[in-house]
Amino acid sequence: MASISPLHTWSQRPHHASFTAFSNNKGTNQYKKQFVFCCKKQEQEDDARTLNRFRIEEQDDDSRTKRREVMFQLAFTACSFPAIVSYALAANEDLRVYTDELNKFEISIPQDWQLGAGEPNGFKSITAFYPQEASSSSVSVVITGLGPDFTRMESFGKVEAFADTLVSGLDRSWRRPPGVAAKLIDCKASKGFYYIEYTLQNPGESRKHLFSAIGMASNGWYNRLYTVTGQFVEEESEKYGSNIEKAVASFRFI
């Protein structure tokens, strides 16, 4: 009678074992080969599944990092702009259509506002419009490049989550001493754009109202994010508020 004595040889993984059986019987040797082959095959499948899981987790981490970078750029855009070189627009009517043939967009702006072009400073493009007289009111169009992972606005998540992340990222009212207070007023998604209304207020300063329209378009090589932001302080609300809101809402691609 054949005698079979199992010897347990543990692999580096604590939960996997390979078993080797010895026998004088030829059939038993065949069983040994098949059994070891099955164990090795199982280990290879486990390795493949583990590697695939790591790759998926790594891709998710990269995607989250890219989203955070874009959100940081949006937050920075809302708070500061590069130096603007201005030149006056002719004044005829209350609003006029400004067309940017290079960046493929149109926007209606107050006719007597000045047009400025700023140094990129890390941005692909920035254009700003503002009153001739000294004022905190303005409308800006900032264009930034995007990676291939971002193909539409929903790549950033739903508009509610996007708006909440943007505004909460600006809020510093919880600090001691408190910093800028940011409050989300409204948000909606329409025709490929995310529209966000919110306020910013530094301690001891006037509250600033902001309207943003954020959309995505390709220049033929890669997608770009267009962030249109109109802002005015409460004291200038009656004078500029309506036209600024109209200007942001009028933005479109051509």
Give tens-digit pLDDT for 150-176. Answer: 999 999 999 999 999 999 999 999 999
Q: Is the pLDDT of residue 224 over 70?
A: yes
Paired strand residues for 84: 118
How large is the average pLDDT for residues 116-145? 85
Work out the pLDDT band at 87, boundaries 50, 70, 90: very low
Q: How far is CA 46 from CA 31, 42, 59, 150, 183, in A?
A: 23, 6, 20, 32, 49
Q: What is the pLDDT of residues 4-13, one digit of tens each?
A: 444 443 333 3
What mean pLDDT is reported for the chain?
Answer: 76
Q: What is the pLDDT of residues 97-120, one digit of tens each?
A: 999 998 999 999 999 999 986 665
- The DSSP bridge pattern shows strands 114-118 and 84-88 to be antiparallel
Q: What is the pLDDT of residues 188-222, one digit of tens each?
A: 999 999 999 999 999 999 999 999 999 999 988 88
**For the chain, which residues make up each domain, given as ranges?**
102-253
166 Cβ neighbours under 8 A, 6+ residues apart:
71, 74, 75, 78, 196, 198
Predicted pLDDT at 149: 86
Q: Is the pLDDT of residue 136 over 80?
A: yes
CB count within 10 Å of CB 112 equals 16
Quote the CA–CA distance of 223 and 221 in Å, as a whole number. Answer: 7
Superfamily of the domain at 102-253: Mog1/PsbP, alpha/beta/alpha sandwich (3.40.1000.10)
Q: What is the pLDDT of residues 11-64, one digit of tens each?
A: 333 444 433 344 444 444 544 444 444 444 555 555 555 445 544 444 445 555
What is the pTM assigned to this prediction?
A: 0.67
Alpha-carbon dihedral sign for residues 105, 109, 115, 117: negative
